[in-house]
Amino acid sequence: MKKATLLNSSDHDFDSMVGDYLRATRVNKGLTGKELGTVMHMSQQQISRYERGRNKVSLDFIFNYVTVLGLPMSHFFNYIDVKLQSSEIQSAIDNKYCTSFNPFEAYLADIEYLSIR
């Protein structure tokens, strides 16, 4: 079983990820921050703080948010999952856990492997 790792704030800016999701889905639905704030009974400024990742959001807020926009909760979780996976890959590349890919070296390794068999 794969060992679970906790998010490291230096590796993942989770609040910004959530904010990006909030902004993208709102814009995709054709709503302004003010319109969404009115529907959710909060100010446009608070919506903006969430979208910029300045304030943390609760799971209750996310549930209400996706419900207002007519989306399932899985839409949010799938978005975050994809972002975290791409962030982990980028982190591995940045930290040089992954060497650069050289197609010629890969080709030679394949030839070497096949010649041994």
Which region among 12-21, 49-58, 102-111 has the lowest average model confidence (pLDDT)?
A: 102-111
pLDDT tens digits, 54-102? 999 999 999 999 999 999 999 999 998 888 887 766 666 666 555 555 5
* For range 22-32, the mean pLDDT: 95
Domains held by the chain: number? 1
Write down the number of H helices and E strands in the chain: 6, 0
Percent of the chain topping pLDDT 70 = 63
Q: Are 18 and 57 in contact (CB under 8 A)?
A: yes
- Give the CATH number, domain containing residue 98: 1.10.260.40
The answer to whether residue 6 is domain-embedded is no
Percent of the chain topping pLDDT 90 = 53
The answer to whether residue 8 is domain-embedded is no
The answer to whether residue 42 is domain-embedded is yes
The answer to whether residue 2 is domain-embedded is no
Q: What is the dihedral of CA 83, 84, 88, 94, to 10 degrees?
A: 50
**Residue owning tokens 């054709």:** 30
**Residue owning tokens 């989770």:** 14
Distance between CA atoms of residues 53 and 17, nearest Å: 8
Report the pLDDT value the prediction gives residue 90, as an integer from 0 to 100. Answer: 67
* DSSP classification of residue 4: P
